[in-house]
Amino acid sequence: MNPSPPVIDVTGLTKVFGHKTVVDHLDMQVGRGEIYGFLGPNGSGKTTFIRMLCGLLRPDDGQGTCLGFDVRTQAELIKPHVGYMSQKFSLYDDMTVRENLDFISRMYGVANRSAAIDRTIGRMNLGRFRDQLAGTLSGGWKQRLALSACMIHEPQLLLLDEPTAGVDPMARRDFWDEVHKLAGEGITALISTHYMDEAERCHRLAYIAYGHLLATGTVAQVVAAEGLVTYEIAGPQLYGLIDRLRGLPGVEQVVAFGITLHVSGREADVLAHSLAPYAAPPLTLRQIPSNLEEVFISLMRKAVT
Amino acid sequence: MARIVTFSLIRFAAMVSKEFTQMRRDRVTFGMMVGIPLLQLILFGYAINSDPKNLPTAILDNDRSVFSRDMAMAMQNSSYFKFTQAIGTEAEADELLRLGRIQFVVTFPVNFGRDLARGDRPVVLLEADATDPSATSNAVSAIRQAATDAFTRDLTGPLIALRPANGPVELRLHARYNPEAVTQYNIVPGLMGVVLTMTLVIITSLAITRERERGTMENLLITPVRPVEVLLGKMLPYIVVGYIQMGLIIIAAMTLFKVPVIGSLPLLFLVSFPFIAANLGVGITFSTIAQNQLQAVQMSFFFFLPSILLSGFMFPFQGMPEWAQWIGSVLPLTHYLRVVRGIVLKGNTFVDIAPHMWPIGLFLFASLGLGIKRYRQTLD
Ligand SMILES: Nc1ncnc2c1ncn2[C@@H]1O[C@H](COP(=O)(O)OP(=O)(O)O)[C@@H](O)[C@H]1O
Ligand SMILES: [Mg+2]
């Protein structure tokens, strides 16, 4: 059997606001059932890119399809099958949880509306808040409501823009369990996030900075591609050491990590040479695998310089 | 092109019920919508005085003597009256007054000149459309002055004895439609149009701007809803509001100000529909242009000011300079005022007011069309 065509397949997607190119010729292919992480510093164009995929913004250049429909001309056909959760809560504050869900499900023409709403409310544990105004919900519950709203019409593609920002770890875990369950049913998800642990729960990810795609692939591929070498230094009075280490040749990042320091650089030999003096007691030095955060920071630094 | 052009009743109904829900929650705005009409009614209950000029007048000259022509000339020179037509019968005069084409009819009796020469003080009849008393209040003194001016010149030499102490002619003013010249009779029905214009334009101008400002537009645009469904869905609830306001003003007009309603109220409600919708169309259009709610309110005032000043609400329309009348003719309020006053004060029928309906209809389609054209389905 042929692999099913990609759910998102765009090339050269570009958006210009005024004189500023916010998304600069971005390509992306996401397959069915995939959970695709979308990372990058604030203002790098994630939201803008997601909005172009679902017809909320018109691309200035580039083409491609989303769910098989042209992103430039067939937004009307894409919209019914997409569940989009905006970065900022955009349901009606002055309507109750139930009223909001009812409005959204009418907009999508959901069959058996009442049952669908009850099911969603039940699954998301929103029962207690059913008749509470959405504006009075706390952050985490608002996220849950927004997530319910974007799934009530059983979309094939979820576009979630920082869905877990400001949500407690427990709720985040529930959320990710839910996403994985949906992926198992063949639903595709593109999720932007700033959390590294969430990035690691994605099948694949893309890292963008200032509108440019800097890395794509599985977590392991992204880490390997950057070729970053990281050492861990442990011992007493490490804080005094940070500034001194930062000036050394080959050292690109020094990060305090609990009671240790992580020192990374791309030139393995130079770095090893610079750090050799810090292997003596009371300090200990050992090489460790680079983590995603170090890789992303390294990517971002490169993008700036 | 695989573009589905459909109108979904389900989505339209969802928009309408959402708007009603939000309206119900927004107590302050709802209070304003009810409060503003009543407040304005009380504020404008006071007379608005003005000094109109060149009011259109028809002349019915049964004498055709040098004396009647002299007096007509003097009236014209007073710049208060402007003769727009000479007519032959009383029936013609009635018709012109009823349709609001003219403000006055001046009638010179047969043998006006002979009686004047005999010193018999002939009767000059001035019939006035008094629906707007500010237009007629100065008419009597203006015409008396004109008579004196005309005949003190003619009655010289041997005729000087014919200058009676109490004026050469007897003036009879016949105020039609609002015989007691009660200003409120004119203001209150007019106020209905003013209130509808003000509140409906402002409220709908906020309709889409608010969604944009609160960020809820993003969620609305991502759904399959179509522009027409959004715009009409947002208008319908305010049509209901407009009718509630109308009802309030009519009740107040009849109870507080004892305005006699001569024409048909059902007709009034029926023909108000395009006017209400035209104002909503303006508001919706502003709403698609304004960047934020403040701008939306400013635009509404930009529309409201000429409406109130140039429509014939504040000053008699016929007395305004020509350029002002041109602007006024575009505004739906101008035509609606004639409709309301015509129905309430003159008992106009649909046929009588029909000429004022098409400019309102035209404005409605233009404003609504512009709104739909301006409505953006994207965030950029
Ligand atoms: N409507 C807009 N008009 C002008 N600039 C915008 C608009 N939307 C976003 N931007 C700019 O585009 C850049 C990218 O924004 P965004 O896509 O929100 O980034 P991210 O979601 O990655 O934080 C930012 O610099 C932002 O200021
Ligand atoms: Mg963003």
Chains A and B form CB pairs within 8 A to the count of: 86
Q: Is B88 exposed, middle or buried (0-12, 13-18, 19+ CB in 10 A)?
A: exposed
* DSSP state, residue B261: -
Half-sphere exposure of B133 (CA within 13 A, CB side): 15
Among all residues of chain A, which has the CA nearest to that of B15?
A103
**Angle, helix A139-151 to helix A169-184, in steps of 10 degrees:** 10
Averaged over B20-38, what is the pLDDT? 82
Q: What is the pLDDT of residue A84?
A: 95
Instruction: Decide if B218 and A92 are in contact by the 8 Å CB cutoff.
Output: no
CB atoms within 10 A of CB B113: 20
Last residue of a domain, one of B122, B152, B176: B176
- Atom in ligand 1 nearest the alpha carbon of residue A46: 22
pLDDT score recorded for residue B233: 93
Q: Could you tell me the pLDDT band of residue A70, with boundaries at 50, 70 and 90?
A: very high
Same domain, B315 and B169: no
What superfamily does domain A8-222 belong to in CATH?
A: P-loop containing nucleotide triphosphate hydrolases (3.40.50.300)
Is pLDDT at A298 greater than 80 in this prediction? yes
Q: Residues with Cβ < 8 Å from A146, sequence gap 6 or more? A: A85, A86, A89, A90, A91, A163
Indicate whether B193 and B324 sit together in one domain.
Answer: yes
Q: What is the largest CA-CA distance in chain A?
A: 71
Let me know: does B161 contact B93? Beta carbons within 8 Å: no
CB atoms within 10 A of CB B344: 28
Residue list, ligand 1 pocket, CB within 6 Å:
A 17, 22, 40, 42-48
> Which two structure tokens, joined as six digits, stand for A169?
């770890």
Q: Given this model, what pLDDT does residue B49 score? A: 42
Residue B244 lies in a domain: yes
Top residue of A47, A74, A107, A161 to mutate, by most chain B CBs within 10 Å, is A107
Q: What is the rounded CA–CA span in Å between residue B137 and residue B50? A: 10
| B38 contact partners, CB below 8 Å, separation of at least 6 | B248, B252
pLDDT tens-digit readout, B147-185: 777 776 666 666 665 555 566 777 777 777 765 555 667
In a domain, B344, yes or no: yes
Residue B91 lies in a domain: yes
Nearest CA to ligand 1 atom 17: A45
Question: Is this structure's pTM higher than 0.90?
Answer: no
Q: How distant is the Cα of B220 from the closest Cα of chain A, in angstroms?
A: 9
Q: CB–CB of B14 and A107 under 8 A? A: yes
Q: Helices H, strands E: what count in chain B? A: 15, 5
Range with lowest mean pLDDT among A149-158, A190-199, B252-261: B252-261
Q: At residue B100, what is the residue type?
A: G
What are the structural domain ranges in chain A?
8-222, 229-289
* Lowest model confidence (mean pLDDT) among A23-32, A106-115, A165-174: A165-174
**Do B291 and B326 share a domain, yes or no?**
yes
| Cβ-proximal residues to A183 (8 Å cutoff; 6+ apart), any chain | A33, A34, A35, A189, A203
Q: Report yes or no: A90 at the B interface, CB cutoff 8 Å.
A: yes
Assess whether pLDDT exceeds 60 at residue B190: yes
In the numeric block, the tokens 């949880």 are attached to A97
* Chain A residues touching B3 at Cβ < 8 A: 73-74, 76
How is residue A5 annotated by DSSP?
P
pLDDT tens string A115-161? 999 999 998 889 999 999 999 998 888 988 999 999 999 999 999 99
Q: Does residue B94 sit in the same domain as residue B146?
A: yes
For residue B5, pLDDT beyond 60: no
Assigned domain for B256 exists = yes
Q: Whose CA is nearest to atom 4 of ligand 1?
A: A17
Q: Which two tokens stand for residue A277?
A: 């003096």
pLDDT at residue B108, rounded to an integer: 87
CB contact set of B217 (below 8 Å; sequence gap of 6+):
A90, B208, B211, B379
| Cα A226 from Cα A268, distance rounded (Å) | 12
pLDDT in the model for residue A97: 96
Q: Is A163 helix (H, G, I), strand (E, B) or coil?
A: coil
Between B288 and B100, whose confidence is greater?
B288
pLDDT at residue B238 tops 60: yes
Q: Model ipTM?
A: 0.85
Q: Are residues B195 and B156 in the same domain?
A: no
Q: What is the mean pLDDT of residues B327-331?
A: 92
Question: In this structure, what token pair is assigned to residue B134?
Answer: 């500010």
Instruction: Write the CB contacts of B372 (distance below 8 Å, at least 6 apart in sequence).
Output: B227, B228, B231
User: Are both B167 and B209 inside the same structural domain?
Assistant: no
Range(s) of the domain holding residue B141: 55-176
Chain A residues close to B221, C-beta within 8 Å: 56
Which residues does residue B105 pair with via DSSP β-bridges, in sequence order? B58, B127
Q: How many domains does chain B have?
A: 2
| Mean confidence (pLDDT) of chain B | 83
Residue of B nearest to A107 (CA): B11
B137 & B214 share domain: no
**How does strand B55-61 pair with strand B81-86?**
parallel
Q: Which residue's CA is minimally distant from atom 18 of ligand 1?
A: A47
Asked if pLDDT for residue B361 goes beyond 90, the answer is yes
- CATH of residue B100's domain is 3.40.1710.10
CB contact under 8 A, B2 and A77: yes
**Model pLDDT, residue B329:** 92
Pairing label, strands A61-66, A8-17: antiparallel
Best of B1, B219, B221, B377 to disrupt the A interface (most A CBs within 10 Å) is B219
| CATH code matching the domain that covers A229-289, chosen among 3.30.230.10, 3.30.470.30, 3.40.50.2300, 3.30.70.100 | 3.30.70.100
Q: Which atom of ligand 1 is nearest to the CA of A15?
A: 12
* Backbone φ and ψ of B270, nearest 5°: -65, -50
Interface contact flag, A95 B216, Cβ < 8 Å: no
Residues sharing a CB contact under 8 Å with residue A227, sequence separation 6 or more, in sequence order: A266
Residue B326 to residue B329: CA distance in whole angstroms? 5
* pLDDT for B86: 85
Q: Which of B147, B176, B205 is the last residue of a domain?
A: B176
**Alpha-carbon gap, residue B135 to B318, rounded angstroms:** 9
Q: Is the same domain home to B163 and B218?
A: no
Residue where a domain terminates, one of B127, B156, B176:
B176
Q: Yes or no: say if B46 and B122 are a contact pair by the CB < 8 Å rule.
A: no
Residues B130, B177: contact at Cβ < 8 Å? yes
One domain, residues B124 and B227: no
Largest CA distance in chain B: 96
Do the domain assignments include residue B50? Answer: no
Q: Which range is least confidently modeled, A169-173, B51-55, B158-162, B229-233?
A: B158-162
| Mean pLDDT, rounded, for B270-296 | 91
